[in-house]
Structure 1
Amino acid sequence: MTSNQPQNPAYGYNESSIGHQVQSELDRLRRLEDAWDPETISLLSDCKVQPDWRCLELGAGAGSMAYWLAGTCPEGHTTAVDLDTRFLDQGAFRNLTISERDVLDCDFAPQSFDLLHARSLLVHLRRREEIYRRAAQWLAPGGWLVTEDPVIIDDRESPYPQFSKMTRAVSSLLGKHGADFGWPRSLPALALQNGLTDLSVSARTLQCGQGGTSDRHWTFMINQMRAPLISEGLLTEEEWQAGIDCFNDPAFLDISLVMISVRARRPA
C-alpha cells in the first residue's frame, strides 16, 4: 500500500476489486451465498439457536445470514454490521437493525449477544485479532462465536498449472489490500487464547470444475477481478484467459480453497 492511501484497516477490502462500489459486486456476493450458505446454516443450527437470542452478524454483505438469524430468532433481535450497507434491506424484518460502520468502531457492551457470526471478514482485515478479541467480550455467558474464513489453495502442485497461477494471482491481489489467506489456521488458537470453550473446527472445500454453485462463484469473481489482475502485472491477458478456460474443460476438477470454520462459546 502506498503512503498516500488511507491506513484504515477496513480500507483494503472496501476499495478493492471486490468492494461494494464495484458494479457487479452484489451479483458476486449472491453467488458466494449460494456456495456457502447451506453449510453455514448447518453450522449455526448446531448451536441450538433459540427464538429469543440476540445475534450479531459482522460483515453482513448482501444480508442472507443476517436475514436467516432474524427469521430464526423472531422473539430476539439481530444486528447486522457492514462498512457499506447498500445491499441490505432495513425493512426485511422488524427485529433486524442494520448498522453502517467499521467493525473496529463497534462499541457494543460486554455480554450483549448470544450468537455472533462473521464469514469471510477477518481474513481481509489487518487488525483481525483485535476484532476477534473484542467480539469474544461481546458474548453473553454461554454465547457462541462462529467465525469462517477461507484459505486459498495456491500451491504449485496442482495438476492444472494455468488455474494454479490464477489462484496465486487472486491471493496476491487481495493481499495488496490486507488479506492474509494463510491466517485462518490461527483461528482455533485464537479462540482458546480468548478464553472460549467447547471448541469445534471444520473445513469445507470448494471444488472448481464440472459446474455447480462453486464454479459460478469462482468464474464470476475471476471475471470481476480481470482488469486489476492484469493492470497490477499479476497475470497477462493470455494467462488470465487460460485460467478462465479451465472451467470449460470437462476434465477439469480442482480444489480452490478451504473454508475454515471455528465455533466456540463463552463459559456459562
Structure 2
Amino acid sequence: MKPSLHAPAVAVADPGEGYVFDNDNAHATEQHRCLAASLDAITTARLADTGVTDGWRCLEVGAGGGSIATWLAERVAPTGEVVATDVNPVHIPQRPGLRVLRHDVVRDPLPEETFDLVLSRLVLLHLPERHAALAAMVRALRPGGRMQLDEFDIDYGPVLLAPTRAAGELYERFLAAKARMFADAGADGGWGRRAAAAMREAGLVDIDPVPYLMPWHADSPGVQLLIHHTHHLRDRLIAAGMTDAELAEVRQVMRHPEFRASSCVIYSVQGRRPR
C-alpha cells in the first residue's frame, strides 16, 4: 500500500543501496550536526526571504536531522504546519506543528497543489531519479507556492594553503576520491549549478539561484564535516582509491593551523509555481 502524506504515519521501502549517508549509521548524528553548523544560516536566511510566516503549510523533503524543519515550524506557528519527510526519519525531533513522516520521494506519491513552500537540501544531487523527484515536488506546490533547493557543486573547492605541497596534493586527492565515490553511487556532484535550469524546465518561474562560497580553515564546520567523512565514508573512500594511512594523514592536513581552502559552491535556488 502506498503511503499518503495525509496519514499520521507511513512505512515504505528502505533507502536505496546507492545512498551514502544512512541514518542508521553510528556517524549520522555528527553528520547532521556538521551540516547544520555549516549550512543552516544560509538556508534559513534564504527561506526568510520567501516571507514564510504563520499559517503557511511547508514540506521539507529529506529533512535529515530536522534543524531546518524545526526552524520552519517556529516560523509558521501557531496555525501553520511543516511536514518533514525522510526515508529514515529517526533523527527528526517531534514538536508541535511539525509532522514527521517516513517517505521516499522517488517511490512514494506526494499530494498535489498542497504546500506553500517546498524545500530540499542536499537530497536531489544523490538521486539518479532527481528530475522525476523534482517534478513530484513541483506538483506538490500550490499555485503561487515557492520552492527552495540548496545543493552542492563539489567540482570546485580548491586548497588555498597547506603546510606543504604534498599535503595540498593529498587533500585534493581526497576530494577527487570522494567525487568518484559519489559518482559511483549515482550522485551528480555538479547538480548544484544545474538545479536552476532543471527547476525552470520543471515549470517554475522567477528562478533565483544564489551561489555561496566560504573560506575554510581547521575550525570551520565544513572542514569538520570533511574530517568526519574520513570516518563515516571510510569503506567507500578506500574503494575509491584511498588508504587508511592517507585518510589519517589528510585528517592531520585539515587540522593544521596553516590549512586554508575554499568550500565547494553551495547553490541556494528559489522558484515559484505559476498561479
Same-fold call, TM > 0.5? yes
**For residues 220 and 237 of structure 1, what CA distance do their matches in structure 2 show?**
14
2:258 corresponds in structure 1 to 251
Q: Pick the aligned partner of 2:87 from 68, 83, 89.
A: 83
How far apart are 1:178 and its partner, in Å? Answer: 1.4
Instruction: Please tell me whether residue 130 in structure 1 is matched to residue 165 in structure 2.
Output: no
Q: 1:224 maps to which residue?
A: 232
Query: Displacement, 1:140?
Result: 0.9
Matches within 5 A, 1:11-30: 11-13=17-19, 16=20, 18-30=21-33
Alignment of 1:173-188 (within 5 A): 173-188=181-196
2:217/2:257 contact within 8 Å kept: yes
**Does 1:71 pair with 2:74?**
yes
* Aligned pair partner of 1:203 in 211, 214, 217: 211
Bigger mean CA offset, 122-131 vs 99-108: 99-108
- Aligned-residue sequence identity (percent) comes to 27
Written as runs of structure 1 = structure 2, the 5 A alignment for 1:5-154 is 10-13=16-19, 16=20, 18-74=21-77, 75-89=79-93, 91-93=94-96, 95-153=97-155
**Corresponding residue SS for 1:85:** coil
Partner of 1:168: 176
Bigger CA drift: 183-192 or 50-59? Answer: 183-192
Mapped to 2, the partners of 1:39 and 1:183 lie a distance apart of 18
User: Are 1:153 and 1:255, in contact at CA under 8 Å, matched by a contact in 2?
Assistant: no
Aligned counterpart, 1:265:
272
Shift of 1:218: 1.9
1:196, distance to aligned residue in structure 2 (A): 1.2
Q: CA RMSD of the aligned region, Å?
A: 2.1
In the comparison of the two structures, how many residue pairs are matched? 256
For 1:67-90, what per-residue CA distance to the aligned partner results, in whole angstroms no more than 9, with x for missing partners? Answer: 11111101111111100011123x
Paired residue for 1:213? 221
Q: Identify which range, 79-88 or 167-176, moves more after superposition.
A: 167-176
In structure 2, distance between residues paired with 1:108 and 1:237:
43
Please say if residues 81 and 101 of structure 1, whose CA atoms lie closer than 8 Å, have aligned partners that are also in contact: yes
C-alpha distance in 2 between matches for 1:142 and 1:177: 35
What one-letter code is carried by the residue in structure 1 that aligns with 2:59?
L
Which consecutive unaligned segments of at least 5 residues does structure 2 have? 1-13, 162-167
How many angstroms does 1:9 deviate by? Answer: 8.0
**Partner-residue secondary structure (3-state), 2:120:** strand
Q: CA deviation at 1:245?
A: 1.8
Is this contact kept in 2: 1:208–1:254, CA < 8 A? Answer: yes
SS at match of 1:126: coil
Q: Counterpart of 1:55 in structure 2: which amino acid? A: C
- The residue identity in structure 1 corresponding to 2:133 is I
Contact conserved, 2:34 with 2:221, CA < 8 A, in 1? yes
Aligned equivalents of 2:106 and 2:249: distance in 1?
40
Instruction: Tell me the TM-score normalized by structure 2.
Output: 0.86
Structure 1, unmatched stretches of 5+, are 1-7
- The code of the aligned residue for 2:269 comes to V
Structure 1, 34-43 or 191-200: larger mean CA deviation? 191-200
Change (3 A) 1:204 1:140: same
| Secondary structure class of the residue paired with 1:45 | helix
Give the residue type in structure 2 aligned to 1:45.
Answer: A
Q: Distance in 2 between matches of 1:162 and 1:115?
A: 42
Quick check: 1:154–1:165 contact (8 Å CA) kept in 2? no
Q: Distance in 1 between matches of 2:65 and 2:230?
A: 19
